[in-house]
Amino acid sequence: RHLPYFCRGEVVRGFGRGSKELGIPTANFSEQVVESFPSDISTGIYYGWACVGNGDVHKMVLSIGWNPYYKNVKKSVETHIIHTFKEDFYGEILSIVIIGYIRPEKNFDSLDALISAIQDDIGEANRKLDLPEHLKLKEDNFFHMPE
Ligand code: ADP
Ligand code: MG
């Protein structure tokens, strides 16, 4: 109902759940940005487009979940960009458009099960984002920030 949802904000340090060690780093938005989200948006996994600073627009998968750092009373919003970056980009401005919903949040029995679910999410995002109606949003003026 809230989609597509456009959002821009600074990338902050997360709580080091070791996403990067799993090969799936997630760029966390600040608490302030998360608070600005519609409060009734469903937790779970989404797909869309993302760009760092004035960089290229890439496919992404995004998780909206309960933030363990705040005893699960606040949400966290984490974006995994489907692209290999040369360097970390903490402190930079991340722009995203959230387009579609993939699945609800789940608990997994094993790390392997978690990783394979995320690989599936990335596969689904890849396929969906190749659809013409979704490619259109990649070119949206939202991603062309003034200098
Ligand atoms: P944290 O707990 O600080 O969020 P992560 O292990 O989730 O740590 O790593 C996230 C950081 O990795 C991002 O803030 C960003 O600087 C960097 N990074 C590098 N490549 C990517 C990518 N493809 N998608 C998202 N973040 C990335
Ligand atoms: Mg993270």
- CA–CA separation, 23 and 11 (whole Å): 18
Per-residue confidence (pLDDT) for residue 66, from 0 to 100: 87
pLDDT tens string, the chain, 147 residues long: the values are: 899 999 999 999 987 776 887 889 999 999 999 999 999 999 999 999 999 999 999 999 999 998 777 778 889 999 999 999 999 999 999 999 999 999 999 888 888 998 999 999 999 999 999 999 999 999 999 998 665
Spacing, Cα 14 to ligand 2 middle (Å): 5
- CA–CA separation, 118 and 94 (whole Å): 21
Closest atom of ligand 1 to 18 CA is: 6
Please state the three-class secondary structure of 4-23 as a single string. CEEEEEEEECCCCCCCCCCC
Name the residues annotated as catalytic.
78
